[in-house]
Amino acid sequence: MRKILLPLLLFFLLAGGETAVARWLPSPFVAPLLLPALLTLAFRLPATRLARLAFLGGLAGEAASGLPGGTILAALVALPLAVRALVRRPELPVLVRGLVGMIAALLFSILVQAAAPGPFAPPARLLAQFITAKLLFPSLFVGALVLFMGSLLDAREQRRFSSLGLLPAAAGGPYPSVK
């Protein structure tokens, strides 16, 4: 039970933070928080646990952000799983993990923007603002957070976080195999 409730609580806190960030950033800018959390974990967790966490995270984000369609929920599940399938090397330098996170966030932003109604690209006079505020800024933000959180987890050797049920019991030991 703790393995479900505590991560859910953590993700609710992140979702709340995301809502707060969304309210206080200048209007067209967005700064996702759930996504970097899930991507950071994607480098470490077995796929099944990651899928569960991604779903809980997506659900928390969906509930807290007021999104109607749940596109973000589906994308939040799909993206960490895809990253997990492609990159299963926790020994990668954190800078590389941050870069992968940034690329994944860019794909996420494009997916979410493509799911929005209307033409994908706005009028030419708004294109620069669109690319900056909707694609580049969130990607850089996520990349930086993945880097930061990855460093943090490395520095703590995963011990403190394992008590929250977010990391496998074998944390710090050999990388867990995908179940």
Residues that bind another protein (CB under 8 A): 12-13, 15-24, 27-30, 32, 47-48, 51, 59, 61-74, 77-78, 81-82, 84-85, 109, 112-113, 115-118, 122-123, 126, 129-130, 133-134, 138, 177-179
- Cβ distance to another protein smaller for residue 13 or 95: 13
Cβ partners under 8 Å of residue 87, min gap 6: 42, 43, 100
- Cβ distance to another protein smaller for residue 94 or 112: 112
Shortest Å distance, C-beta 159 to another protein: 27
User: Sign of dihedral through CA atoms 156, 158, 162, 164?
Assistant: positive
Shortest Å distance, C-beta 13 to another protein: 8
Shortest Å distance, C-beta 157 to another protein: 26
Cβ partners under 8 Å of residue 142, min gap 6: 32, 35, 36, 39, 101, 102, 104, 105, 108
Residue 166: how many other CB atoms lie within 10 Å:
22
